[in-house]
Structure formats: structure tokens, C-alpha cells
Amino acid sequence: MLEGLAFRACLRADAEAVWRACFPQLPSAYIHEMLARAESVWRNGRGAGVVACLDDQIVGFGQVTLWARTAEISDLSVTESQRGRGIGTALLKHLIRLGAAQRNVIEIGVAQRNVRAHALYQRLGFRHERTLLLDLGQGVEPVHYLTLSVDQLTEHF
């Protein structure tokens, strides 16, 4: 793991830092709402929002939500200037471990246009399950949903 990289539960108070670091293209109010939902999910024992911190600075965010049959990873993002350093992979593995402790299947969605993220998910063992047409804020587009069986996890997790 990258020296100085740590993970912790995300708090509502992190909203501005998460917005600036990970989602500057989205309205700040949307990030405040997202973190309020993540905190509610955590309080209800149905998942967690997690920030990745490098030397105490937020450089990534992701969340895992527990559904009836799956643990869904969503809203994974790393600060643009820090991409390609292994932070996203480490954060994703952390979220997978959190989900795998509670469910047998991990699910993640990825826009078809996000080739880099799709390749990462496949490298970690995720397999294509289905494709939906969704509006992720840039118009309707194909979104691939991939799954990972906890039985398939290797010693790398």
C-alpha cells in the first residue's frame, strides 16, 4: 500500500473536502446530500462511506451499501492529480473487504465510457452481469454492472 495512505469512515463534515478532491464537476449540494445518505446508511448498519487520506488529506471516496443479496460499491472517485498511484485500487479493495464481511456477492456499476475503471474492476475479478441504460448526469448511457463472488476472492484481499 502507498506510504501515508489510510482509510476512515466519512463524516458529513468531510463534504466540502470530498467535493473539492473527488467531485468538483458536481454541485456541492449534491455531495452534501450524498454524504448525509452515506452517514445514514452507516448508522443503520447497511454500509459505509469511506474516505482515502494521503498524509491526512482526502484524496478518494467510495461507499458500500448492503442490499438483501449483494454489497454494492458506488461513487468511487480519486483526486485527478493522484490517479495512477494505486489509491483507487487500494480503496476498492478496502470496500470489497467491508462488503465481503457481510454479503457473498459484491456488485459495482461502471459507465461504458469509463474504460479505465472497467479494466481495474475486471483485473480484480469482477465479471459482467448486466447492462442498463441510465442517466448519470451526462445523458442516458450504457452502465455495466459487474459482480464478484466472495468465494472468488484471493489472498490479495
pLDDT at position 154 over 80 = no
DSSP secondary structure string, 93-128? Answer: HHHHHHHHTT-SEEEEEEETT-HHHHHHHHHTT-EE
| pLDDT for res 2 | 84
Retrieve residue 86's grid coordinates. Answer: 494505486
The secondary structure of residue 89, as a DSSP letter, is H
Burial class (CB in 10 A: 0-12, 13-18, 19+), 48: buried
Q: What b-and-e string marks burial along 61-86, b requiring 16 or more CB atoms within 10 Å of the CB?
A: bbbbbbeeebbbbbbbbbbeebeeee
pLDDT at position 6 over 70 = yes
pLDDT in tens, 81-135: 999 999 999 999 999 999 999 999 999 999 999 999 999 999 999 999 999 999 8
pLDDT at position 68 over 70 = yes
pLDDT at position 155 over 80 = no
| pLDDT for res 1 | 66
Q: Which residues have CB under 8 Å from 118's CB, separation 6+?
A: 110, 112, 144, 146
Q: Does residue 72 sit in helix, strand or coil? A: strand
The secondary structure of residue 69, as a DSSP letter, is S
Name all domains of the chain by residue range, CATH numbers in brackets: 5-107 (3.40.630.30)
Q: Which residues have CB under 8 Å from 107's CB, separation 6+?
A: 70, 71, 72, 73, 129, 145, 146, 147, 148
pLDDT in tens, 37-67: 999 999 999 999 999 999 999 999 999 999 9
